Amino acid sequence: MAKQLMDIKLDEEFEMYVLLKDASKRVAKNGKPFLSLVFQDQSGQISGKYWDASPADIEAFVSGKVVLLKGKRENYMNSPQIKILAMRLANQSEPHDPVNFIKRAGMSRDQMEEYIDQTIFEITNAVDNRIVRSLISKHENAFYTFPAAKSNHHDFAGGLAFHTISILRLAHSIVNQYDCINGPLLYAGAILHDLGKTIELSGPIATEYTLAGNMLGHLSIMDAEIVEAADKLGIDQQSQDLILLRHMVLSHHGLLEYGSPERPKILEAEILHHLDELDATIVMIQSATKNIDPGQFSDRIFGLDNRRFYKPEKSVDPKNKPTQGELL
């Protein structure tokens, strides 16, 4: 199997085809332009700087292009970085399709669709069920192909649906644990909570925030979508069912400073907020520690207050995890 980005060791030189996940023009202290780049393949991503970039370089090396990269892996301020030795665009006779260089969800689209469809049957509230069905149908292709974020957590093709399913699995466990929870409302809120990212983000390749994403954000985008769907379905805008569903979406970031116009004011909204945070946090830590050796610290994780996480010498073998029955 061909070596990939995350297989490259410190100080090792290499040559391989990679995707430019991000390419941003910057100006150095000496006044000369350079490109701040993020290289990506299915194993992960590493940044690099293309110094003294000419106008032709800036025009050619843009996000979403595949390049043949010759470089050397180095460390800069305790973070991996690629020293670029040579770089050119891949031609038509070489690997050049960006789709082949992006990471994908750990479930197939068919598997994800089946899980979502089964959960929708569990949404027994008629208002919530009709709205969820309407909006999933409207945004179906993007929902199953988009990432959940430009960076940080679930930033891969299919990450949006995969993140949603992770939350739904946790939600099912909690509903089975406590008998006071409105499961159908929690499931409906979980399915819709990040669906606005199908409008907020540009897609799975060279992901960027759209104008609507930058100006409105996915919470307000989805709230407007819910209102529009309710109007088309003839649902009373003042019904408690509709207001509670909107509240689930609008409050799921938890705090006003994190983008929620309201803090959670019902149990199900509070649960959704914590499940969203939990899943995102676990995935960020997993990604940061995946490619480091036991006994080492990860790079700083921006989404977790720039903290570094330690990978213990002895970790749990997933194959040897006790079952729930063995724990009881």
5-101 matches 109-284 in fold:
no
Kindly state the tokens that stand for 11.
């100080």
Answer for the pair 68, 44: CB distance below 8 angstroms, yes or no.
no
d(CA 220, CA 93): 45
Answer for the pair 161, 105: CB distance below 8 angstroms, yes or no.
yes
Q: Across residues 164-178, what is the average pLDDT?
A: 97
Stretch (H or E) spanning 64: none
Residue 328: its pLDDT value, please? 34
Per-residue pLDDT of 174-226, as tens digits, reads 999 999 999 999 999 999 999 999 999 999 888 899 999 999 999 999 999 99
Kindly state the tokens that stand for 119.
């959960």
Instruction: Looking at the structure, give the CATH architecture of the domain made up of residues 5-101.
Output: Beta Barrel (2.40)
Res 325 pLDDT > 50: no
Res 327 pLDDT > 70: no
* Mean pLDDT, rounded, of the chain: 91
Phi then psi for residue 84, to 5 deg, are -80, 120
Per-residue pLDDT of 31-56, as tens digits, reads 899 999 999 998 888 999 999 999 99
Res 297 pLDDT > 50: yes
The ranges assigned to domains in the chain are 5-101, 109-284
pLDDT band at 272 (very low <50, low <70, confident <90, very high): very high
Closest by alpha carbon to 273, among 147, 189, 204? 189
Residue 151 DSSP code: S
- DSSP-assigned beta bridge partners for residue 87: 69
Per-residue pLDDT of 301-315, as tens digits, reads 888 888 999 999 875
Answer for the pair 84, 26: CB distance below 8 angstroms, yes or no.
no
Q: Which fold has domain 109-284?
A: Hypothetical protein af1432 (1.10.3210)
Residue 214 DSSP code: H
